Amino acid sequence: MPKLIAMRMRWESDSLGRVRAPAGALYGAGTQRALAHSGSGDRQMPRRFVHAVGLLKWACAEANVALGVLPRNKGNLIARAAREVASGRLDAHFPLGILQTGSATSTNMNANEVIANRARQLAGSGKRRRPEIHPNDDVNKGQSSNDLMPTALHVSVVLALRESLIPALDRLARELAARSDDFRDIVKTGRTHLMDAVPMTLGQEFSGYAAQARKGAQRARRASECLLELAVGGTAVGTGLNAPRGFAGRVITLLRRETGCAFRRAGNPFEAQAARDDCVEAAGQIVAISAALLKIAGDIRLLGSGPRTGIGELKLPALQPGSSIMPGKVNPVLCEVLIQACHYANGLCQTVARCGGDGQLELNATLPIMAHCLHEAIDVLDSAIRAFTRGCVMGLKADASRCRELVERSLMQVTVLAPVLGYDLAAAIAREALATGKSLREVVLRRGLMSRSALDRALNPARMTRGGAARAGKSRAS
């Protein structure tokens, strides 16, 4: 965090007494105490989370004014200051790290203090009756950290999924589908267990990758949907103590209008505050997305291996030198970037799952680390997917001659002969071809098992990619 005014300090007070805070900081005693006990470090609370807190404080102020429990002059100032938090203009005044009180009360008080002090500034110094705005009594009216912070977590993750991960996956799916179309006529050898299998087209293979990416986007949307229930209105333990009647409904209506997301009040406020199961479910969807992306990136890396002693069916864009000692070597950089991002995101989501089971009674006290992990997972995947799509997938080329060479050398075309010659005889042909170095065609003709014309019709790789049973005619052996 940028240092505000390092040498000048001011006195602030709270229920525990007085404490010195930086003169230029908008936060107060509560934030300063939290800083002293946990520090900020490099892992600050996610900015999206802080912005969601600002959005919520704005909605709460508007709801309190509408319900007549907060004077309009105070409410308007609080709403304006909260809007500045939501926009990111006041990020420098949110120094707290993720290792803080497990309910994120420190971040809630950080927001209350910043908004209260900024609201006083907005009131101006020239007014005779400038309203006194209290962080707890006014900014936090009708709220508790225990309901507002879980709400901010859900809102911020929903927005992150909608604005970052889903568009990244959608674009990846479109580009993979485009490559599938480009490669639709290129016949290649399929592989199962990393061993030669029957022919397919490179376009068919890429259609599978495109479907995985599309399903990934669908899973990200489901992750978003499971976070639409909000805990706001439950206050300390879910009973709604000190929240005015109708408060939660008004807040959620404002959030829906502002974001376009179908947020709704939690069906059971006690579950919504005591448990973080919805976050664990969202993390599970991100794990599934990571698994799909690992497969796609890993396969493209394998198919592009070489250039002379690997599979070599794909030509990956040359992005940077691949070795400090081997001249001319080029590595599949962005495949490996995405693979590492997936492993990292998976680990973050495992932490979310562990934290989700670590709640006690009416509260789960691991919210800050869960917020960090979910946002970090989304951010790292978003960044890696976009780089992979732009720098790798969009520039992929097929090596059609290499694909044709490997198809011609593959022994698994013998599969199409099994319905004609029988499985055991077809297996014997494959074994002989492998042992002698001869082609399947040469072995079959030498044994006199099929006519040349029938064999030509059967051993047609392009026809094999369209499925169906072989129509090779009778064998001479029959």
Active-site positions read 193, 323
Nearest-angstrom CA–CA distance, 345 and 383: 12
Amino acid code (one letter) for 478? S
Separation between Cα atoms, residue 275 and residue 253, nearest integer Å: 24
Query: Sign of dihedral through CA atoms 353, 358, 361, 362?
Result: negative
Burial environment of residue 435 by CB neighbours within 10 A (0 to 12, 13 to 18, 19 or more): exposed
